[in-house]
Each structure stands twice: as C-alpha cells, then as structure tokens.
Amino acid sequence: MPGTNRQLDGALAALLARRESHGKLRRLTKPLAHCVDFSSNGYLSLSTNLEIQEQLLARLQARVAAGAADIDRAAGSRASILGSGGSRLLDGNSSFAEEIEARIAAFHRSETALLFTSAYDANTGLLGSVPQPGDVIVYDELIHASVHDGMRMSRAGRKIPFAHNSVSGSRPGAGAEAGDGRLGRQSENKNLEHVLGQLSGREGSEDVRSGKANVFVCVEGLYSMDGDVVHLQKVVDAVDRCLPSGNGYIIVDEAHSVGVFGDDGRGLVCKSGLEDRIWARVLGFGKAIGCSGGVVLCSSTVRSYLINYARSLIYTTSMPFTSLASIEVVYDYLVSGRSKPLREHLEELIHYTHCQLRAICARQRPGQLMIRVQEAPAVSPIIPVLTPYPRALAEHCQRSGFMVRPIVAPTVPAGSERIRVCVHSGNTIEQVDGLCKAIEAWVRQNHGAVERDERRDKSKGLGEVTKTHNVLSQDRPRL
C-alpha cells in the first residue's frame, strides 16, 4: 500500500506541475490585513456593518438565555446556537427556519422559498433533480460552475450553451448584444433565440414543439467575472416567441445581483417586474447579503419536489441557528430600507471608478495595451480590468495596499485574463484614487519591459503562452 500511495501521489504531483508550468496553479491565500478590499463579493459591506453585528450578537445572547431557562424545566431541552443536529428531513428543521423562508419569499415576491446551505448546493439540487429524461437545458456559456455540476447530475437529454449574454440579433455568437460596449469576446455558440429556434423548429424535437419536453433556460442576474447584467426581458421574450407551447422555464441565479439591484435590494427579477415570468430564482447570501447560505425561490409544488428529490438538501446537515439568525438580522435591515444609502453610495463609486480606469486606458502609449476596460458605463460593482499580465498587476496593487486578485484561465477563457476590481459601499473616493494611481504606476513602470519582451518573443517565434511568462513573471504573486 505505501508504494501504491507514492505512485498515486507522483501522478497527482505531475498534474500539478503541469498546471504550474502553464501559470494556472491555484493556491490558498489569506487576505492581507493592510490592504483595502477591492476583491471580495461583499458589495454592500454588510458583514462589517456595526449595527448588524450588534443586532446579531443580541439575538445570539437572547437564544443562550432562553436555553438556560429551558434547561431548568426539562433536562436536555436547551436550544442550541451551534450545530443543527442533522439534515432538515431528520432533526435539522425548525419553526425558525420556516419563518425565515416565509419572510424571504414575501420580500422577494415569491410564492415560497427553500433554504440550502449554499447557493452552490441550491443550483446543484435544483438542476440535478428537476429536469427529466427528454428535457433540455439551455445555458449561458459563462454560467457558474455550480450550474454545470447540477447539469452533470441531471437526467436531461441535452445541455446546450448559448453565446454569453447574447439573446437575439443578426450576429449570433458575438457574445454580447449589439452596441452594448462589452469587451468584445467572440464565441462559436449561437445566441439564445437561435438555439431555441433550432430546438422548436422543423429540424428540432417534436417533443419540444408539442410541449411534451421541457426546456430550462439558465442565466445569471449579474455575471461575476465580466460584471455584466443579463438582458432579462429579452430572455423572457425569446422564450415566449420560440416556445409558444409554454414549456420554457427560466432559472435566474441571483447570487451576485441580490442586494445590489431592485427596491431595498430585492434583486434583478424584482427590479424588472418579472417575478411571475421566472420559474425559479437561486439567491446566495454570501455576497452582498453578507452572510452564508442560499435559497431557491419557487412555487410550493417545486419546493415540495426539492424536499423529496434534491440530494444537496436531503443529505446535508442543515444550517445552525447562528446562520439563520444572521440571515434574519440582515433581512430586517433590508426590509427597513436602511440599505438604500449604501446602494446609492455604491452606484456613485461604480461610476467614478469606471471613469478613472477608462482615463488610465486613454493615457496609455499608442498601441501599448497594458490594460483594457470596457467603454460602456459600468452597471455593477464588478469591473474587469483586462491585461496579459494579471498576476504581476495584482501583486503590484497588493504591495501598494489594495487587494485585487488575478483571474486567469480556466476560470475565464484564455485571452481574457484580468484583475477583477470589486467596489463596495464601504470604500471611499480616496481609496479608489489610490487604487487607480497604483494601476497607472504599474502601467508606466512596465510598458518598456513589455515592448522589449514582445520583440524578443517575436524574433523567436514564441506564442501567447510564452508571453505570459516574460520578464514580468518575476513579479507574479504566488496566488
């Protein structure tokens, strides 16, 4: 056995070495205490909100006090604030959990809600159990990994991608709606309407045309890497046009859009007034909401079905009181309207940050594209800064006191590497100015080295992979 273990470890080490040689090796890192946060997904800065923290501590202390009183009356009956005791189908359910679900459903204008331990589990549970043999799943090519894992578990007969955020138009496969000013990614996939038209056309499936087979269309409200927002009304219209039998069902992952968009942070679906047109929504509490966990917003029938068939719910220990209480406290804050000033400040920072980054792009030397930022105004807190040297730029920013992370393939398609600037309501104009000064300083310091390196690569006939391991590689962070 020891020899066998060494043999397997050797094979795994070889795979890791190959990934490292391509500059794609992932490592766990710790947030740097001295750095200003421009990386995390806590867009409203609620997890560090003192008012919310104080309210949560008060709830926990009240729970402990109530448990101490109960123990005097009945041995072993003390309420726990730690573990939940099991899955929700065994000992992990509670009136408290069901009350929170009802409150979440009402806030987001949904019939019902079902809590999961994460939005990842919610997606895998939903996609892994609902689609039946013969059904089809159509999904945005940049959809989250959890949807892909749910599709792998699914019994759906076909899974078909469509070009990112491309719903209709004369340029299928362009990866963006015409005129939206996005970063110009080209895609071999067709747009959504083209895919749905093929499915329901004469050359497609009779089961789809007749409505016997269901078509599930999966999109995200806000895409976490590009920071763009789905054209949700266009998606609804395309499904209605192409699937007149009423067998098209739209699933929106709102993990990144909840808290940011809509009245009091209700999300993009509510902002668009499409609550009755979206079959299911998956919300994540680990981003703008500042907690942990996830929820599926759906009909009471779908909720009952998930309780019976979603493996990520049935076989997972349910959330403890601490997690439930944190969700309750944050929703108290949202319902009260107190988050409105945070979103207003966030919108101002988003506009200001994008303008400053675009100004840096305009000041670059002609033909020297060290960084690139979309021309169209930013519509979300996520602003990608494309660069061939994301690791070097990220490390420079961190040394300057600003936490940003490099995003490289395979997390994003090769050729679209970037740093991901995430703006938060807790940030200030001065902090944004500091980050932008650090980015521009890096551009000025390194443009000469890049020119020399590109001339060297060209003379040797080296390709893009080698270019990412040029003289700047000595500055790459070990992330």
Computed from CA positions of residues 16, 19, 20, 26, in that sequence, does the dihedral angle turn out positive or negative? negative
From 460, 449, 419, 453, select the one nearest 436 (Cα to Cα).
Answer: 419
Question: If you search the block for the tokens 């299928």, which residue do you land on?
Answer: 172
pLDDT on residue 172? 40
pLDDT on residue 251? 98
From 164, 235, 248, 249, select the one nearest 193 (Cα to Cα).
Answer: 235
Specify whether the CB–CB gap between 296 and 101 falls below 8 A: no
Domains and CATH numbers, the chain: 26-44+340-475 (3.90.1150.10), 95-335 (3.40.640.10)
DSSP letter (8 states) at residue 162 = E
Tokens of 477: 């962070």
Tokens of 119: 């939005």
From 387, 378, 375, select the one nearest 353 (Cα to Cα).
Answer: 378
pLDDT on residue 30? 85
Round to whole Å and give the CA distance between 247 and 236. 12
Provide the 3-class DSSP secondary structure of residue 129.
helix
Round to whole Å and give the CA distance between 177 and 237. 15
For every residue of 36-81, DSSP letters joined together read EESSSS-TT-GGG-HHHHHHHHHHHHHHHHHHHHHHHHSTT-PPPS
Round to whole Å and give the CA distance between 137 and 218. 7
pLDDT on residue 371? 95
Specify whether the CB–CB gap between 183 and 374 falls below 8 A: yes
pLDDT on residue 186? 67
Round to whole Å and give the CA distance between 367 and 8. 48
Tokens of 193: 């309407």
What angle do the packed helices 50-73 and 321-335 form, to 10 degrees?
Answer: 130
For 411, the enclosing helix (H) or strand (E) is: none
Round to whole Å and give the CA distance between 57 and 60. 5
Instruction: Give the distance, in angstroms, between the CA of residue 116 and the centroid of all CA atoms in the same chain.
Output: 16
Tokens of 335: 């319902």
Provide the 3-class DSSP secondary structure of residue 362.
helix
pLDDT on residue 55? 96
Q: What is the CB neighbour count within 10 angstroms for residue 422?
A: 24
Q: Chunked in runs of 10, what are the mean pLDDT values of the chain (479 residues)? A: 77 95 86 92 97 96 77 56 88 94 98 98 98 97 96 96 88 41 68 95 87 97 96 97 96 98 98 98 98 98 98 96 97 97 98 97 81 95 96 96 93 92 98 98 81 52 33 30
Question: If you search the block for the tokens 């929106």, which residue do you land on?
Answer: 252
Q: What's the predicted TM-score (pTM) here? A: 0.88
Question: If you search the block for the tokens 């959890």, which residue do you land on?
Answer: 146
User: Cα 437–468–439 angle (5° rounding)?
Assistant: 5
For 227-253, give one letter per residue: b (16+ CB within 10 A) or e. bbbbbbebbbebbeebbeeebbbbbbb
From 88, 119, 14, select the one nearest 319 (Cα to Cα).
Answer: 88
